[in-house]
Amino acid sequence: MTDEVAVLGVGMHPWGKWGRGFVEYGVAAARAALADAGLEWRDIGSIVGADTVRGGYPGYVAGATFAKALGWQGARVTSVYAACASGAQAVNTARAQILAGLADVVLVVGADAAPKGFFRPAGGDRPDDPDWLRFRVLGATNPAYFGLYARRRMAVHGDTPQDFAQVKVKNAALGALNPYARYRKPVTAEEVAASAVVADPLRLLDICATSDGGAALVLAGMEFARRHGVTDPVRIRAVSTVTPRYPNTVLDLPDIATDSAAAVPPEGTFRESIARAAYEEAGIGPEDLSFAEVYDLSTALELQWYEDLGLCGQGDAAKLLREGSTALGGRIPVNTSGGLASFGEAVPAQAIAQVCELTWQLRGGAGDRQVAGARAGIAANQGLFGHGSAVVAVR
C-alpha cells in the first residue's frame, strides 16, 4: 500500500522512578532507535517530539528540546501534545510528513518524568479548563474515574473484582518477561485482593502507577527503506486520531456534560469509534489481528477495551479473559508488553512504546513473550480532552 510507512528503528529507556530529567530518557530512547535503524542522527530529516507538561518550557517544545540535546543539525522540528494520545499524534505527524514528501525519514520521541502519586492539573485557577474543573468541582482524580468505570462494568455486565484481578495477574506475568518494564515480577490474585483499596472496587494493584520513561521510533517512506536494504519492514498501515461525537451516552472525564452545538448520532462509544476508524483505514477487522496493546490505566479499563476493539461482544470481556483468550498463547493476546500494569504511565512516551511492542512482535523479536506467527497488531488508547489514539501495524 502506498500510504504505508516503514518502522526502521525502535528504542526505549526502561520505565521506573529514576529521578532524572525527561530529556535524558528521550535521548537514550532516540539513540537506541537510531542504532536499531542503522542510521545516524544527521541522517534524520525531521524530528517530532511528544510534549510533557511536567518538564517546564522544554517539555512544551519537546521536539526542539530533543533536537538540541542530540545536536542541532538542521532537521525539521514539530512538537505535539494530546495528553495520553500524544505519542500517536506524533506518529501521525511523522507519517503525514513522509507521505507528503516533506521528509524521507523521521525520528519520533516521547519521554516523561512523572510526579509521585496521581496526576494533577497545573497550578492556578482556570475555570475554563475541564481538567481543573473535574478536580475543583467533582473531586474526580484519575483513580476515581477508573473506579466509576469499574462499577459500571459490574452493574451492566456482571464483572467481578476477581475478574479485574486476573487482568493484573496476566499482565504482571508478561511484564516479568520485559526488560523495559518497571515492575518485573509475577503477581497473584490474592496479592491484588490484599492490596489497599484506592477507588472502590479497585485496589492499588488494579491501578497503574506514574513512571519515568522514554520511547522512540524511526519512521521512513517505503522507498527510503528499500534503498537502505530493508525489503520487508514492519509497516504502519493506519493511525486513528478521531474525536468523540455527541450525544455521548458513556461519559469520559474530564467531560462532565453531554451537550454539543453539533449533535451527531454516534455509532457506539468514543473508544469504539477510535478502533473503527483504524480498522477502516487499514482495511482489516478485529478478526485479522494477531495481538493488541491497550491502555490499561486500570484492570477494568482493559476489559472495556476488549469490547471496544471488537475482540468480543458487549459484556463478553470477562468471559474472553477467563477462557485465556487474551493471554500469551490465546486467540488474541492483549498487552504482551505487560501493559501499564507493568510500566506505569510516562504519558507522552506510552503510545510510542506501544508501537515499539507492535514492532518487536511483528519482527519476531519479543523473546519469551513472542506471539507465534504475528502478522498484524493494534495499539489503542485515548487522551483526555477527546483525543483518539490507535495505530495498526502489519508485517
Where do the domains of the chain lie?
A: 5-117+212-234, 130-206+236-394
Residue 115 per-residue DSSP state: P
CA gap 283, 302 in Å, rounded:
24
pLDDT of residue 251: 67
Preceding omega of 254 cis (within 30 degrees of 0):
yes
Run of H or E including 349: helix 347-363
Q: In the numeric block, which cell numbers belong to residue 19? A: 529521578
Run of H or E including 28: helix 22-37
- Do 5-117+212-234 and 130-206+236-394 share a fold? yes
Preceding omega of 201 cis (within 30 degrees of 0):
yes
CA gap 60, 58 in Å, rounded:
5
Q: In the numeric block, which cell numbers belong to residue 295? A: 491502555
Q: Phi-psi bin for 147: left (phi > 0), alpha (psi -120 to 50), beta?
A: alpha
Which of 134-143, 147-156, 267-276 is the least confident region?
134-143
pLDDT of residue 263: 61
pLDDT of residue 103: 97
Domain topology for 130-206+236-394: Peroxisomal Thiolase; Chain A, domain 1 (3.40.47)
Averaged pLDDT score across all residues of the chain: 94
Query: Do 366 and 203 form a contact (C-beta atoms < 8 A)?
Result: no
Query: Do 224 and 6 form a contact (C-beta atoms < 8 A)?
Result: yes
CA gap 148, 152 in Å, rounded:
6
pLDDT at 76 over 90: yes
Query: Do 349 and 33 form a contact (C-beta atoms < 8 A)?
Result: no
Angle 268-272-273 from CA coordinates, rounded to 5°: 85
Main-chain phi, psi angles of 184, to 5 degrees = -125, 50
Proportion of the chain in helix, strand, coil states, percent, rounded to 5: 40, 20, 40
Share of the chain above pLDDT 90, in %: 83
Q: In the numeric block, which cell numbers belong to residue 171? A: 499482565
pLDDT of residue 265: 66
pLDDT at 108 over 70: yes
CA gap 210, 226 in Å, rounded:
39
CA dihedral (256, 258, 261, 267) in degrees, to 10, reads 130
What single letter denotes the amino acid at residue 339? G
Residue 131 pLDDT class (50, 70, 90 cuts): confident
pLDDT of residue 124: 80
Instruction: Tell me how far apart the 2 most distant CA atoms of the chain are, in Å.
Output: 57
Best CA proximity match to 376, nearest among 296, 242, 282, 240: 282
Global confidence as pTM = 0.95
pLDDT of residue 3: 87
Residue 296 pLDDT class (50, 70, 90 cuts): very high
Residue 120 pLDDT class (50, 70, 90 cuts): confident
Angle 22-23-25 from CA coordinates, rounded to 5°: 65
- The count of other CB atoms within 10 Å of the CB of residue 306 is 25
Q: In the numeric block, which cell numbers belong to residue 219? A: 519512521
What CATH code would you report for 5-117+212-234? Answer: 3.40.47.10
pLDDT at 370 over 60: yes
Which of 127-136, 199-208, 236-245 is the least confident region?
127-136
